[in-house]
C-alpha cells in the first residue's frame, strides 16, 4: 500500500489477476450477462464498479513486477517470495513475504513493506532480527524456503 | 420506508453488542461494535484525507464493514482454541494463536461465508441500489479490490490496536507485546505506521 506504481506479485497472484481481468472483459462484451463465475458475481449488476475494477486490474497488470526465484546460491537469504520460519520470543511461526497487494497476515502472507517484512529482507537463517519501537520483539530466522505458496 | 426503518432498527443492535475479543480478556463494559465502527470511521476519514483516495468511498466502507455482525458472530483469532474454563482462556491469550496454513485458509473462508450470509440477510429488503452498494463496499473491504478497500482494512486493525492499548493502560489485562508484534506484521501503510509510532510513544511513556 505505500506506493501503487509498482506491484510485486507472485506468479500465482499475477495469473489470478489476469484471469479476473480476462473474465470481466469477456463478461463486459457478452450479450448474455448471466455467465460470470460466482467469485466475480458482485460486478454483474453494477457497470460503474465493473469499470473501476477493470481499470484497477489493468493498472496492476501494466505495472506488475513478477517475484522471481533467486539464484540457488542466494536462496538462503530472505527476499520477496520467501517463506520464513522464525522463532518469535520463543514461539514458532512462519510467513511468506509478498508485495502489498497479496499481503494477508491472517493467511500468513505479510507485506515486504510492513515493519517486520522489511526488517526480514536480506537476512538469513540464524540471524536475529530485532524490532524495537518501543516494544522489543526478536525474530530468530530458523529457515528460509522458496517455492512454497501461502 | 418501512423496510428502511426495519433495517435501521436492526443496525441499532450493534450499539449494544459488546465486542467478544475484549470480553475474552475480561474487560469490564467493553466497547460495542457500533463504538468500534464510529472511531474507525473517524480514523479512516482524518488519515485517509492525507492520501489520494475517494473519501466518500472510504467513509462508506468503514461504516459498512462490520454491519454483518448484527447477525454474524464476532469471531476472534483464538476461536477454535477456546475452552470453557476462564483460567485456561487466560493461558491461551498469552500466546498468539498458531494454525497450519490449511487451517488458516479454512478459517478465513468460513468467516467470509458466514459474514456474507449475515450481511445478505440484513440488507435483503433494502432497495436494489442501496443493497448493491452496501454489498459492493463490503466485498471491497474483505477482498481489497480498490485502494480505498485496502486502506480501510488496515484502519480496522489500527482502531483495534488503539483500543487494545487503551485497555492495557486501564486494566493491564491485554498482552500488549503480542499486539505490538501483530500490528507490525499487519500494516504497511506509511501514514498508519506513523500513527502507530505516535501512539506507542504516547502510551508507553511512563509504562
The pLDDT tens digits of the residues spanning B127-171 come to 988 998 899 899 999 998 889 999 999 999 999 999 999 998 888
| pLDDT of A40 strictly over 80 | no
Residue A137 contacts residue B178 (beta carbons within 8 Å): no
ipTM of the complex, rounded to two decimals: 0.84
Short-list A65, A60, A58, A52, CA closest to A22: A58
Domain membership of residue A150 (yes or no) is no
A52 and A80 inside one domain: no
Residue A1 lies in a domain: no
CA atoms lying within 13 Å on the CB side of residue B129: 1
Put simply, the answer to whether B145 touches A116 (Cβ < 8 Å) is no
Task: Say how far apart CA A137 and CA A116 lie, in whole Å.
Answer: 10
Q: How far is B119 from chain A (nearest CA, A)?
A: 14
Pick the residue of B101, B153, B192 with the most A CBs within 10 A to test the interface with A by mutation. Answer: B101
Alpha carbons A27 and B63: distance in angstroms, whole number: 30
The answer as to whether A109 is a domain residue is: yes
Task: Count contacts between A and B (CB, < 8 Å).
Answer: 90
Same domain, A76 and A116: yes
Same domain, residue pair A44 and A80: no
Residue A53 counted as domain residue: yes
Same domain, yes or no: A101 and A133: yes
CA pair distance A45, A37, nearest whole angstrom: 14
Identify which has the larger pLDDT, B97 or A121. Answer: A121
Contacts of A68 (CB under 8 A, 6+ apart): A81
CA distance to partner chain B, nearest, from residue A4 (Å): 9
Residue of B181, B198, B204, B207 best to disrupt the A interface, most CBs of A under 10 A? B181
Instruction: Please check whether residues A46 and A90 belong to one and the same domain.
Output: no
Distance between CA B66 and CA B15 in Å, rounded?
12
Is residue A59 located within the same domain as residue A79? no
Pick the more confident residue, A139 or A150: A139
Pick the last residue of a domain from A66, A81, A111. Answer: A66
Residue A33 in this model has a pLDDT that exceeds 80: no
A22: number of Cβ within 10 Å = 11
Q: Does residue B11 have a pLDDT over 90?
A: yes
Question: Is residue A27, in this structure, part of any structural domain at all?
Answer: yes
pLDDT band, residue A35 (cuts 50/70/90): low
B15 touches chain A (CB under 8 A): no
Q: Which pLDDT belongs to residue A150?
A: 56
Inter-axis angle of helices B128-143 and B147-171, to 10 degrees?
A: 70
Does a structural domain hold residue A15? yes
Pair (A61, A113) in one structural domain: no
- Considering the domain architecture, whether residues A87 and A119 belong to the same structural domain is answered as yes
CATH number of the domain that residue A18 is part of: 1.10.287
Q: What does the alpha-carbon distance between residue B105 and residue B108 come to, in Å, rounded to a whole number?
A: 5
* Contacts of B178-184 spanning 24+ positions with Cβ under 8 A: B178/B94, B178/B95, B178/B96, B180/A135, B180/A137, B181/A88, B181/A89, B181/A116, B181/A131, B181/A135, B181/A137, B181/B96, B182/A105, B182/B96, B183/B157, B183/B158, B184/A114, B184/A115, B184/A116, B184/A131, B184/A137
Identify the pLDDT of residue A38. 66
* CA gap B43, A7 in Å, rounded: 26
Domain of B44, in residue numbers: 2-204
Say which CATH number the domain at B144 has: 1.10.3210.10
Structural domains of chain B, count:
1
- Residues of the domain holding A101: 72-145
Q: Do A107 and A78 lie in a common domain? A: yes
| Chain A residue numbers touching B135 (CB-CB < 8 A) | 42
Query: Do A77 and A135 share a domain, yes or no?
Result: yes
Where does the pLDDT of residue B92 fall: very low under 50, low under 70, confident under 90, or very high at 90 and above?
confident
**What CATH number has the domain bearing residue A87?**
3.10.50.30
Residue B150's H or E segment, with its range, is helix B147-171
Is residue A95 domain-resident?
Answer: yes
Q: Considering its fold, how many domains does chain A have in total?
A: 2
Cα separation of A3 and A111, whole Å?
Answer: 12
Residue that has been written with the C-alpha cell 506513523 in this structure: B194
Residues A98 and A133 in one domain: yes
Q: Which of A135, A136, A140 to mutate to test the interface with B (most CBs of B within 10 A)?
A: A135
Give the nearest chain B residue to A135 (CA atoms): B177
CA distance B1 to B74: 29
Contact with chain A for residue B203, Cβ under 8 A: no
Q: How many residues does chain B have?
A: 207
Beta-ladder partners of A132: A136
Q: What does the block give as the cell for A1?
A: 500500500
Give yes or no for residue A3 having a pLDDT over 50. no
Assigned domain for A37 exists: yes
Same domain, A50 and A84: no
Amino acid at each position: 500500500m505505500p506506493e501503487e506504481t509498482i506491484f510485486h506479485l507472485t506468479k500465482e497472484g499475477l495469473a489470478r489477476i489476469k484471469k479476473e481481468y480476462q473474465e470481466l472483459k469477456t463478461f463486459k462484451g457478452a450479450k448474455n450477462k448471466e455467465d460470470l463465475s460466482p467469485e466475480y458475481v458482485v460486478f454483474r449488476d453494477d457497470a460503474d464498479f465493473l469499470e473501476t475494477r477493470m481499470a484497477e486490474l489493468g493498472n496492476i497488470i501494466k505495472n506488475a513486477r513478477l517475484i522471481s526465484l533467486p539464484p540457488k546460491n542466494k536462496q538462503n537469504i530472505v527476499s520477496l517470495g520467501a517463506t520464513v520460519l522464525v522463532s518469535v520470543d520463543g514461539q514458532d511461526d512462519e510467513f511468506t513475504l509478498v508485495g502489498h497487494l497479496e499481503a494477508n497476515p491472517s493467511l500468513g502472507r505479510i507485506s515486504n513493506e510492513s515493519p517486520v517484512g522489511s526488517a526480514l529482507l536480506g537476512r538469513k537463517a540464524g540471524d536475529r532480527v530485532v524490532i524495537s519501537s518501543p516494544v522489543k520483539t526478536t525474530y530468530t530466522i530458523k529457515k528460509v524456503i522458496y517455492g512454497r505458496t501461502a | 420506508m418501512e423496510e428502511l426503518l426495519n433495517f435501521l432498527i436492526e443496525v441499532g443492535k450493534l450499539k449494544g453488542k459488546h465486542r467478544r475479543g475484549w470480553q475474552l480478556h475480561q474487560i469490564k463494559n467493553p466497547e460495542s461494535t457500533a463504538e468500534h465502527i464510529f472511531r474507525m470511521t473517524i480514523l479512516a476519514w482524518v488519515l485517509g484525507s492525507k492520501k489520494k483516495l475517494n473519501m466518500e468511498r472510504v467513509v462508506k466502507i468503514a461504516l459498512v464493514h462490520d454491519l454483518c455482525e448484527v447477525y454474524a458472530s464476532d469471531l476472534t483469532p483464538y476461536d477454535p482454541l477456546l475452552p470453557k474454563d476462564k483460567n485456561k482462556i487466560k493461558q491461551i491469550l498469552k500466546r498468539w494463536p498458531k494454525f497450519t496454513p490449511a487451517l488458516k485458509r479454512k478459517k478465513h473462508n468460513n468467516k467470509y461465508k458466514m459474514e456474507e450470509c449475515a450481511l445478505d440477510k440484513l440488507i435483503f429488503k433494502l432497495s436494489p441500489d442501496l443493497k448493491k452498494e452496501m454489498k459492493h463496499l463490503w466485498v471491497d473491504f474483505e477482498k481489497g479490490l480498490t485502494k480505498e478497500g485496502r486502506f480501510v482494512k488496515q484502519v480496522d486493525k489500527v482502531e483495534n490496536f488503539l483500543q487494545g492499548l487503551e485497555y492495557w493502560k486501564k486494566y493491564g489485562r491485554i498482552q500488549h507485546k503480542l499486539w505490538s508484534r501483530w500490528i507490525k506484521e499487519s500494516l504497511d501503510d506509511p501514514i498508519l505506521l506513523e500513527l502507530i509510532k505516535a501512539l506507542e510513544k504516547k502510551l508507553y511513556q511512563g509504562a
